[in-house]
Structure 1
Amino acid sequence: MTTVSLEYIAAGGNRHSSAADWAPSLLAFGAGNNIALWNPEDERQNGISALLAGHEDAVNAVRIYENDGQRMIISGCADKTIRLWAATNETPSGFKETQRLTDHGNSINTLAIFPEQGLFVSGSADASVNVWHMQEATAKLVQTVSLKPRYLPLALALTSLPNGDIVLAVAGTSYNIQLYVRPRSGQTFELQATLSGHEGWIRSLDFTRESTSPQSDILLASASQDKYIRLWRFRQTAGKTTEAPNAIDELSTTSTKKSLSNKAHEVGSSSMKYAVTFEALLVGHEDWIYTARWEPKGGSRSPPALLSASADNSLSVWHSDAASGLWICHSRMGEISSQKGSTTATGSAGGFWVGLWQPQDHSVVSLGRTGSWRRWKFDQDSDMWLQQVGISGHVQEVQGIAWAPRGDYLLSTASDQTTRLLSQWKRQDKSSWHEMARPQIHGYDLNSIDAITDNQFISGADEKLLRVFNKPKAVDNLISKLSGTSSTVSGDLPDAANIPVLGLSNKAMAAADDDDQLNGLTNGDTDEREAVDPASVIHKSTLDLDHPPHEDHLARHTLWPEHEKLYGHGYEISAVATSNDKSLVATACKASSIDHAVIRLYDTREWREVKPPLTAHSLTVTSLAFSPDDRFLLSVGRDRQWAVFERSAENKDTYTLFSSNPKGHSRMILDCCWAPALAGYVFVTAGRDKAVKLWRLNGNTFETISTITTGTSVTAVSFRPDVASTTLALAYGCDDGSIHVAKIFPDTLAVQHTLTLDQRLVHCKTVNALRWRPQTEGSADSSQLASASDDFSVRIYNIS
C-alpha cells in the first residue's frame, strides 16, 4: 500500500497589514490565494502545517474567531468573498470551509472580530462596512454601513463600553477615524464622532482597556502612513463635556498646529457618555506604519505595551513611563537604517507589514516584504529580545525547482526574483526543513533553474541571459553542519558574496576575522573614498551558526558568487537542462519564430557556446531533457512537436537532429522527461491536450507506446530516478494543481496503477515543476517528491 504525507510546505505571507492573526498554538496568514497555518510555538519547528485552499485571489484579511470552545478562521479576499473555516478533525489541515459570504461588491481589505458579542465586521473596497452576527457558527448580515464621505476602509476595531454599548472604529484612505456606536438595546451602528489629526492614510486600529478594572478607560491606537501613531482615550463623563485636561504628549509639538487641538468628542448612549480625547503622539518611525497592536490581556503592565510595525524595517514596543506618563519606545527590533545596504536586494525597501503579539507569552512576530516571518522572544535574564528561527517562502509564482545531484538540498526559483535553497536541519531526534540560503536576489523574474554540480547551479530569467553561481564555503559549512551531510566545496571557492551598489551581479568576497579593523572606521585619517561600507563586510562568526539563518542573514550573507554569464538568446529564458555527465548545458528562450526557437549548448569547462545552435522548433521550447547516458537531448515546445538530438560519437559536445514528430500532441507540449535506463530509451511528454504520452526508441525513430488521459492540461512530468526497482514511477502534475503518480511496467509501458494525491494536500493552481529527490542505495521503498506551483508554494511529499 502506498502512503503519502506532506513533509514540508514553503510559502511567503501576503503583503497586507490585515492578512495575519495569532491565537494560542495557531498563526494563520494569507499566502497567495491560500491561508497558511503555522504554530510558532511548535518545538519541532516544522513550519507551515497546511494551506487552506478555496479563495480565487489574494487573501487580504485573516482573523481567528474563538467562542464557546469553537475555533474558526474568518478570511477576506480580493475575490470579493469572505469565507468561514471551522476547526474539525476530519481534514488533514484541521479546518474545513463552512460558509461563503458574497455580499460585498469589491475586494475585502480588513476584518475585526468581537467574539464576546458574537460579532464581526468586514471592510471592503466598495466603500462599505458590513456587520455580521454569528449564531451557531453561521454568519448573518445585520447591517451595511456606507462610508460617507466616501473612502475605502483599511482598518477596523471593535470594543464595548462598560454599559454594554458597542463601539466600532473605522479608518482607511482618509485622514480621519470614524466612531460608530450601537447602543446595548439597539440593532444598528450610528456615526457619533470623527477623530482628526492624522495626515496620511490610516492602516491600523486597535482597542484595549487601560487596566483590568471593568470601569477603566479605553485606549485606541491608530497607525498611519504619516509615520505617527496616535493614542485616543475614552473616559466616562458625568454629563457635560469640556475641553480635556492637558493630555497632549509633549512629543506632539512636532506636529502641525491644527492637530494640537484637543477637543473632547462624545460617544455613547443617553445612559452613559464617554469623552474621547487625544492622548499621545508616538514619534520614532521613519516610514509608513502598517500595524499597531496592544499587548494581549494578561500582561503585567498597566496600561499595556503597544507593538508597531513599519516600512522602515523596524518593530517597536512602546511603554507608558510610570513617572512622567510619557509614551516611549522601550525596545526596537529589526534592522538599523545604516545597515540596510544600498540596494533593495539587501532589504532597504518594503519593511515590515505585520507585527503580532503571541497570545499567552512574551514573544512577537513580524512579516517582511520578502514574505518571511521573523520571531523574537523576550529573555528575562538578559532583558533583551532574542531572535528565533522563523519561516519563509516565495511571494510570487514558483517557476522552477532542482535538487542537488546528491539530494542534499532543493533549489527553487520564482517570479519574486529570488532563488532559495531548502535543506534539512537535523538535531538529536528532530528534523525539519528550512531555507538555508538565498543564492540569488535579482532584478528580473526568474523562470528556470538546474543544478550543474553539488556546488554550482544555473538560472535563467527575463533578462535574456543565464547566470552560473558557485556555492560559497560559508553556505557549504552551514548545510553540512546542520543537515549532517559531508562538505562538497574545495579550497579555492570564496567565503561569501555580496551585491555591489547599483549592481546585479553577486561578487565573491572573503570573510573578515572578528578582530579585523575596518578600513576607515577606526583611524580617522583614512581617505573617505577608501572607506569600507560596514554593511558589506561579513565576519566569519556571522556565518558560523548552529541554527537555520534568520531572514536578515538570508537576505545579506547567503548569496552565492556569480561565476559566469551566458549570452546569445534574444528573449526571456524559457528552459535549461544540464547533461548527466555535467559537461553541457542546454538552454532555450521564448520565441515566435524559427530564428529564436533554437536550443543553445554551452560547455561547462570554458563556458563557451557550442555552435551552431540546434534547430527544429518554430515556437517557444518549453522543456529540455538529456537521456540518462546523454546520448540523446529531448526538446518539446509550443509548436506541438518534440525533437530528439543525438550526440556525435567523435565530438561529445555536438548534437544533431535524430528524430522529430511535428504532431506529437494535438496542442502545445508543456513538459518532458526521460525514463531511467532500465526501461531503455523511453521518454514521456505532457501537453495541453490533457494527455501524457510514453515514447520508446524503435529503429531510427521514437514511437508512442501508451497514453495516459487526464481531465485537465498536464503541465509537469517527472520519472523517479530508480536505483533498483522493477517498476517505473511517473509523477505528473496538472493545470488544476492535482498531482498523480503512475506505476508503469518497464517492458510494456502499461500503467499498472495510478495514485492521485489527496486534493487537500496538493496545490490549488498550476503545477509548474515536479522533481524526485535523487535516490541512494536502500531508499527504493521511500521517496520524496518536490513540487512548485503558481500558488506561490513549494511542497515536499513523502511517498512510500
Structure 2
Amino acid sequence: MVFITTDYISVGANRHPAAADWDKQLDVLAFGADNNVALWSPRANSHRGVYSLIVGHNDKVNVVRFYTCPVTGAKLLLTGSVDRTIRIWRSNPEDSRQFNHACTLEGHTGSVNAIAVADGADIIATGATDGSVRTWRLRLHEGVVGQLLESIPMTPRFFPLGLSLALLRADGKAEKPIMLAVAGTTNVVQIYVAEDSITDPYLKLCATLSGHEGWVRSLSFTRDKQSQSGDLLLASASQDKYIRLWRVHRGEVATSIPTEDEDPMLGGLEPTLTNKAHEVETAGSKYSITFEALLFGNEDWVYSATWNPDPERQQLLSASADNTLTIWEQDQASGVWMTTERMGEISVQKGSTTATGSTGGFWAGLWSPDGKQVVSLSRTGSWKLWEYDADSDAWVQGLGISGHVRSVNGIQWDSSGGYLLSTSADQTTRVHAQWVRGGMRSWHEFSRAQVHGYDLNCIDTLGPTRFVSGADEKLLRVFNVPKPIARLLENLSDLEQVTDGDLPDTAQIPVLGLSNKSVGDDGLLEDYEKYGTEVGLSQATQTPLSDLDHPPFEDQLARYTLWPEHEKLYGHGYEISAVAVSHDNTLIATACKASSIDHAVIRLYDTSSWNEVKPPLVAHSLTITDLCFSQDDCYLLSVGRDRQWAVFQRSEQEPSVFSLMTSNQKGHSRMILGAAWAPKLDNPVFATAGRDKSVKIWKRTGDTFECKSVISLKNPVTALSFLDSLQNGAFWLAAGEDNGEISLHQISVDSLEVKHLATIDNLISPSKAITQLSWRPEIKGLNGEAGGETGNESVELAVASEDTATRLYAISNLLS
C-alpha cells in the first residue's frame, strides 16, 4: 500500500479584490489561486501555509465567498471564475476544513466578478462582465440546488465589480426584506430591495447613490452598533481614492438643514457633499438612505473595504493601491470617522502607482474571525499578516505566505537536498526550505533569489551554493548564495553551509540594471556616486536577516534576499528552452528555441572559466525540450520537438568534450517533452516522454540504445524523474501528464518490466500540465535528524505545474 500526502503547497493569490474570504466559524481563509481555490489557516500554530487546493474551475478564480445555510447550518464555499460559472463546494462532514464539489451554477455569459451573501438569507447574488446581476435561491437537502430567480441587466450598462447583500430587519419576523447594493465600472451605487418571500423574491431598483468620481470596487454592509433602531451602514470603496459611508435607516429622516436652490457660501457651485435622503419602501415599511461620512487619506485607488466581525468593535478595514492597509473607527465624542491604524508602506516607490500603469499595492484586506488579526493581498500575490498586541497597543507583523502567480516552469533540489529552487513565468526564482523549531517543521519561502525582467523557463543547481537559470532572453545567468541567506538556512533549517569567506555579500539591483550585483561591486559604487543609491543602508538592512528567528516576511523577501549574479553565459540566438548541469558541476549544457538546425544546438560551458566549449553539439532540427546528464556524467541526453532523442558521449581524454554517440529520429511518433536517466548501471538506461501519450524505456545495447518497454498513459506526458537510488532491485519513475495527473511506476532492473505503483489522487493533483518533477536527494550535511531521506519509509517528490503551484508530496511505504 502506498500512502501519498501533500507536505507543502506554495502558490500565490489572484490579484482581485473579491478573490478571498475568511470564514468566522471554520477559521479558514480561502483565496483564488489561478483556476484553483487555496485553503489556509493563518492562525494555526503549525504555520503550515496552504493545506489544500480545490480543483474544479477551468479558468482563473475571481471571487470567493463563504456561506452558511440558515436552515441546516451547513457550510458552503461559493467561487466565481472567468469560466463564467459559479461553483458551490460543501464542507466535508468528516473534515469540515475540506470541501467537495456540490453543484455548478451556469447562465452568466461573462466572467463572474462578484458574489454577495447575507447571514440568515437563502438568496445569493452574482455579478459578471455580461453586464448583469443574477439572484439565486440555494436549497440544501441531500445535495445542494441553486434555483435562478432573476437576471437583472445593469442600466445604464456597466460591469458589476462589487455586490453586498443585507437583511433590512434583524427582528426575527418571518418576512425578511432584502437590500442589494451594486457597483462597478461606474461612479454610482445602485440599491435594489425585495421582500424575501415565496411570492415576491424579486429585486427592484429603488435608489442610485452618487458622489464617487471613479469606479466603485468594493461594497460592504454592517449593522450599526451605535444605532438604537438597527440602522445599516454601507461602505463603498472607489478608485477616486475615497471611501463613502451610507446609512440605511428604518423610517423617514427629517432634514435639519433647509434646502435652498443656492448657497451663497458656494458661489453658485454645485456642492460635492450632499445629504439627499433616498426613500425606500418594502414589506410595509419605509426606509431612508443618506450619506454618512467621507473617509479620505489614501493616495491611490481603494480596492476593498470590509467591516470588523467583532460585535464589540465597529471598525472598517480598507486596502489601497498605495501599499497601505488602514483601519477606520468612529470617534466616540465627535462621531467623526478617523484612521486608528495604518499598516504597510506609505509612498515607498515614487511613480509606482496606478496612474503610471502599475498594478501595485494591496488588492484586498480581511479580518480574522475575532477581529484581532488582519491580512492583506499584496501585488506579488503574497499574503501579509498583522496581529494586534494588546500589551503594546500596536499591530505587529506576523508570518504570511507567498508563491508564484504564473506557471512554475522549473524546479530543482540543491545537491544536498536541503532546499528547493523554483522558477516561474512570473519572472522570479524562489528558495523553499523547512523551518525547524521545537520539534515542529513547516515549509516556507526563504529567499527570492532572482527577480528578472523576462519570463523564466528553466533552472539547475551548481552545488549547494549556486544555480543557473534560463529565461526568455538569449543568455543564462549564474547566481551565488549570499552570506545572510546561508546563515538563515543554517540557523532555521539546520543546513550546513560553506564558510562565510567563500560566499559573496548581499545583493541588490543597481540603477537601470537587470543584474543582481553584490553590494560593494565597483558598478554599485559608481551608482552611488552618480545616482545616490543607498548602498550602505541596503547592506545594513540586509545583515539582520541572518539573525531572524523565523522565515523572512514578504517585505524582506522582496527586497533583501536577492542572490548576487556571478556570471552571464552568451551564445544562443533565441529564448533559452533547457539547461542541465553535470553532477560534478564542471559543465553546463543549454539549448534555445529553434525552428532550424542552425539554432537547435546544445552549447556547453566550462564552469571553471565560464567559456563555451566549442563547437556546439548538433543533432536536432527543432527546439530541444529537455537535457540531462547521466549519473556518472559519461552521457548527455537531449530530446526535442523534432521527435528524436540523441545521446552524446564524454571524451575520456578531454572531460569537457562530448561527441554524438547515437540518435533516434523516430524515438516517438510525436514531439518528445521530457527525459531522465535511471540510476547508474553497467548498461545505462534512460526514459523519454512524448506527446504521443507514452513513456519509453531505453537500454544501451552495443553502440546504441534499444526500447525495452513502453508505458501507455491517457494524456501527453510532459515530465519524468527517476528516484536517485535503486530500491530493492528496482527503479522508481514518476511521470507527469499535461492534465496534471502524476503516476508512479516500478521498473525491474534486469528485465525493465514496468509495474504501475500508484496514481496521485485527483483531489490533490495539479489542475494543469506538469512542467517538471524532481525527487528529493538523500539529505546530507544536516545537523541532526531530518525528514525526506531516500529510505524504506518515505521519499519526497517536488512538482512544478502550470497552475502556478509548487507542491511537495511525501510518499511512504513504497517498499511494502
Does TM, scored on the shorter chain, surpass 0.5?
yes
The answer to whether the Cα contact below 8 Å between 2:352 and 2:360 also exists between their aligned partners in 1 is no
Q: Using a 3 Å threshold, how does the CA distance of structure 1 residues 2 and 510 change in structure 2: closer, same or farther?
A: farther
Return the alpha-carbon distance in structure 1 between the equivalents of residues 586 and 536 of structure 2. Answer: 40
Question: Would you say the 8 A contact 1:244–1:262 is kept in 2?
Answer: no
Question: How far apart in 1 are the matches of 2:508 and 2:754?
Answer: 50
Give the match's secondary structure for 1:8.
Answer: strand
Q: 1:397 to 1:16 in 2, by over 3 A?
A: same
1:578 maps to 581
1:645 to 644, 648, 655: 648
2:634 is aligned to 631
Between the aligned partners of 1:93 and 1:289, the Cα distance in structure 2 is 31
Q: How far apart in 2 are the matches of 1:149 and 1:699?
A: 77
Confirm whether residue 141 of structure 1 aligns to residue 117 of structure 2. no
**Structure 2 CA distance for partners of 1:617 and 1:235, relative to 1, 3 Å:** same
Match of 2:263 in 1: none
State the one-letter code of the partner of 1:111. Answer: I
Given the superposition, is the C-alpha separation of residues 184 and 614 from structure 1 closer, same or farther in structure 2, using an over 3 Å criterion? closer
Q: 1:618 aligns with which of 609, 621, 630?
A: 621
Q: d(CA) in 1 for partners of 2:415 and 2:740?
A: 27
1:135-534 map, 5 Å: 135-136=139-140, 137-162=144-169, 164-183=176-195, 186-211=200-225, 215-238=229-252, 242=255, 257-269=270-282, 271-298=284-311, 300-301=312-313, 304-338=314-348, 350-509=360-519, 530=532, 532=534
Q: 1:549 to 1:463 in 2, by over 3 A?
A: same
Contact 1:243 1:264 in 2 (8 A): no
Q: Structure 1 residue 503: deviation in Å?
A: 1.6
**How far 1:343 sits from its partner (Å)?**
12
- Alignment correspondent of 2:116: 112
Q: In the alignment, what sits opposite 2:54? A: 52
CA distance in 2: counterparts of 1:495 and 1:219, whole angstroms: 54
Matched residue SS, 1:337: coil
Contact 1:506-1:561 at 8 Å conserved across structures: yes
Following TM superposition, by how much is the alpha carbon of 1:242 offset from its aligned partner in structure 2, in angstroms?
Answer: 3.8
Q: 1:155-207, CA deviations, whole angstroms, 9 ceiling, x for partnerless residues?
A: 00011223742110000000000000113553211101100111111100001
Name the SS of the counterpart of 1:260 in structure 2: coil
Matched, 1:779 2:779: no
**Superposed displacement of residue 535, structure 1:** 6.8
Q: Which amino acid aligns with 1:56?
A: N
CA distance, structure 2, for counterparts of residue 154 and residue 99 of structure 1: 24
Following the alignment from structure 1 to structure 2, what is the Cα–Cα distance between the partners of residues 108 and 681?
A: 53
Deviations 1:14-41, CA, capped at 9 Å, x for gaps = 0111100001321111000001111112
Give distance in 1, aligned partners of 2:323 and 2:681. 54
Distance in 1 between residues matched to 2:96 and 2:74, nearest whole Å = 18
Question: Displacement of 1:756 after TM fit?
Answer: 1.1
Which amino acid in the other structure matches residue 156 of structure 1? L
Give the 3 Å change call, closer, same or farther, for CA 55–529 of structure 1 in structure 2: closer
Q: CA deviation at 1:715?
A: 0.3
Partner of 2:786: none
C-alpha contact 2:456 2:470 (8 A) present in aligned 1? yes
Q: Paired residue for 2:75, among 68, 71, 78?
A: 71
Q: Distance in 2 between matches of 1:148 and 1:342?
A: 35
Amino acid at match of 1:27: L
Q: How many residue pairs are counted as aligned between the two chains? A: 773
DSSP-derived class of the 1:338 partner = coil
In 2: Cα distance, 1:774 partner to 1:531 partner: 41
Of 100, 113, 117, which residue of structure 1 is paired with 2:104?
100
**Conservation of the 8 A alpha-carbon contact between 2:22 and 2:28:** yes
User: Which residue, out of 37, 42, 64, partners 1:62?
Assistant: 64
Provide the rounded CA distance (Å) in 2 between the counterparts of 1:767 and 1:733. Answer: 5
Q: 1:45-66 deviations in whole A, cap 9, x for unaligned?
A: 1111111111000000110111
- Aligned match of 2:694 in 685, 691, 716? 691
Does 1:598 pair with 2:608? no
Is residue 718 from structure 1 mapped to residue 728 from structure 2 by the alignment? no
CA offsets, 1:588-618, max 9 Å, x none?
0000000010000001111111111111000
- Deviation for aligned residue 1:236: 3.0
Could you report, residue by residue, the CA deviation over 1:622-676 in whole angstroms, capped at 9, with x for unpaired residues?
0000011111110000000000111111111111111000000000000101000
3-state SS of paired residue (1:752): strand
Question: Partner amino acid for 1:294?
Answer: W
Question: Does the 8 Å contact 1:241/1:264 carry over to 2?
Answer: no
For the residue of structure 1 that corresponds to 2:214, the secondary structure is coil
Shift of 1:92: 11
Counterpart residue identity of residue 16, structure 2 = H
1:747 CA drift (Å)? 1.1
What letter is aligned with 1:733? Answer: G
Distance (whole Å) between structure 2 residues aligned to residue 662 and residue 283 of structure 1: 68
Alpha-carbon separation, structure 1, partners of 2:529 and 2:300: 33
TM-score, normalised relative to structure 1: 0.93
Q: Look up the equivalent residue of 2:29 and give its one-letter code.
A: L
Report the AA paired with residue 407 of structure 1.
Answer: G
Range moving further from structure 2, 614-623 or 2-11: 2-11
The CA distance in 1 between the partners of 2:285 and 2:747, in whole Å, is 76
Deviates more, 1:568-577 or 1:41-50: 41-50
Q: Secondary structure at the match of 1:141?
A: strand
CA distance in 1, matches of 2:40, 2:396: 20
Call closer, same or farther: CA 1:287–1:548 in 2, change over 3 Å. Answer: same
Deviation at 1:785, TM superposition (A): 0.3
CA-to-partner distance for each residue in 1:505-541, whole Å, 9 max, x for gaps? 1011169xxxxxxx9xxxxxx9996573787444322
Residue 237 of structure 1 aligns with an amino acid whose one-letter code is: G
Partner of 2:568: 565
Would you say the 8 A contact 2:419–2:432 is kept in 1? yes
In the TM superposition, residue 342 of structure 1 has moved relative to its aligned partner by 7.8
Instruction: Compare 272-281 and 73-82 and name the one that shifted more.
Output: 272-281
Whole-angstrom distance in 2 between the partners of 1:122 and 1:460: 43
Aligned positions of 1:15-34 closer than 5 A: 15-24=15-24, 25-34=27-36
Q: Which amino acid aligns with 1:618?
A: S
SS in 2 for 1:546: coil
Q: Contact conserved, 1:196 with 1:259, CA < 8 A, in 2?
A: no
Alignment partner, residue 783 of structure 2: none
CA distance in 2 between counterparts of 1:799 and 1:407 reads: 16
**What TM-score, normalized by structure 2, do the two folds share?**
0.91
Judge conservation of contact 2:651–2:659 (CA < 8 Å) in 1.
yes
Q: 1:510 to 1:325 in 2, by over 3 A?
A: farther
What is the root-mean-square deviation in Å for CA atoms of aligned residues?
A: 2.4
Determine helix, strand or coil for the equivalent of 1:450: strand
Change (3 A) 1:31 1:184: closer
Contact 2:375 2:383 in 1 (8 A): yes
Unaligned runs of 5+ in 2: 260-265, 781-788
| Matching residue of 2:665 | 662
- Which whole-Å CA distance do the structure 2 matches of 1:409 and 1:194 have between them? 56
SS of structure 1 residue aligned to 2:462: strand
